[in-house]
């Protein structure tokens, strides 16, 4: 009795420069067109307007950069990663496609393996607080048992303790660095961390002038993150 294998490609690319102003749906449309133009053997959704079955990690806010962004592409057959890269790179030239991996029969969704992301942020309060004050705020955050933020939904406002899911927090130059949870249960937005630090410093809001997702972390050792 034969078993149908499932294949997917994991594409690594950059979202830099003016590309940071593209919204998530814009990115999806660009990759969908690239796959069609490359005539790749991919799975498509059903219905009147089938789309290539692409999936992405939690999207960045508009204006944020990503150094190693990823896209998972469902394939109908096993493909050589190098040939796949050669076919897609010209279609995604602006994104600088840096790596293609092909996996077979990985247990569960690729994004179910993602548990944390690293960020660098230049907060607006950096114009008004010196490095020693920001470091003091970071120490206050790190020593706290709870850091509560309000999350607004259509139906209610919910208080959430984000402290357990901020795994690393530091300052390099004037950039706040952090590693935060990325799962549905542990999700922390960089703006929430910046808002908490700003509150310690006497500023409101978690706004930033620059935000960069520098890395993503997966539980599975099958996923190669080296470039």
pLDDT grade for 46, boundaries at 50, 70 and 90: confident
pLDDT grade for 1, boundaries at 50, 70 and 90: very low
Evaluate whether the domain defined by 115-218 bears CATH number 3.90.1150.10.
no
The whole-angstrom separation of Cα 3 and Cα 137 is 56
pLDDT for 141-175, tens place per residue? Answer: 999 999 999 998 888 899 999 999 999 999 999 99
CATH topology of domain 7-106: Alpha-Beta Plaits (3.30.70)
Indicate if the pLDDT at residue 55 is higher than 90: yes
pLDDT for 191-217, tens place per residue? Answer: 999 999 999 999 988 899 999 999 999
Indicate the pTM of the whole model. 0.91
Average pLDDT rounded to a whole number, residues 170-190: 96
pLDDT grade for 136, boundaries at 50, 70 and 90: very high
Question: Domain map of the chain by residue range?
Answer: 7-106, 115-218
pLDDT for 5-41, tens place per residue? Answer: 788 899 999 999 999 999 999 999 999 999 999 999 9
Residues facing 55 on adjacent strands: 72
Q: Matching CATH topology for 7-106 and 115-218?
A: yes
């Amino acid at each position: 009795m034969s078993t149908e294998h499932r294949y997917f490609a994991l594409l690594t690319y950059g979202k830099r420069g003016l590309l940071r102003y593209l919204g998530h749906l814009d990115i999806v449309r660009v990759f969908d067109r690239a796959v069609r133009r490359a005539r790749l053997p991919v799975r498509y959704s059903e219905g009147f307007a089938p789309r290539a079955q692409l999936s992405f990690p939690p999207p960045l806010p508009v204006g944020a950069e990503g150094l190693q962004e990823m896209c998972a592409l469902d394939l109908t057959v096993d493909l050589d990663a190098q040939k796949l890269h050669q076919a897609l790179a010209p279609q995604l030239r602006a994104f600088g496609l840096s790596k293609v991996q092909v996996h077979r029969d990985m247990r569960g969704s690729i994004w179910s393996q993602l548990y944390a992301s690293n960020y660098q942020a230049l907060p607006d309060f950096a114009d008004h607080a010196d490095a020693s004050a920001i470091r003091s705020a970071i120490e206050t955050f790190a020593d706290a048992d709870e850091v509560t933020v309000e999350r607004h939904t259509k139906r209610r406002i919910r208080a959430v303790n984000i402290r357990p899911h901020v795994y690393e927090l530091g300052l390099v130059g004037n950039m706040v660095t952090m590693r935060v949870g990325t799962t549905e249960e542990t999700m922390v937005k960089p703006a929430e961390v910046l808002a908490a630090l700003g509150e310690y410093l006497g500023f409101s809001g978690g706004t930033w002038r620059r935000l960069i997702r520098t890395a993503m972390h997966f539980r599975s050792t099958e996923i190669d993150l080296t470039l």
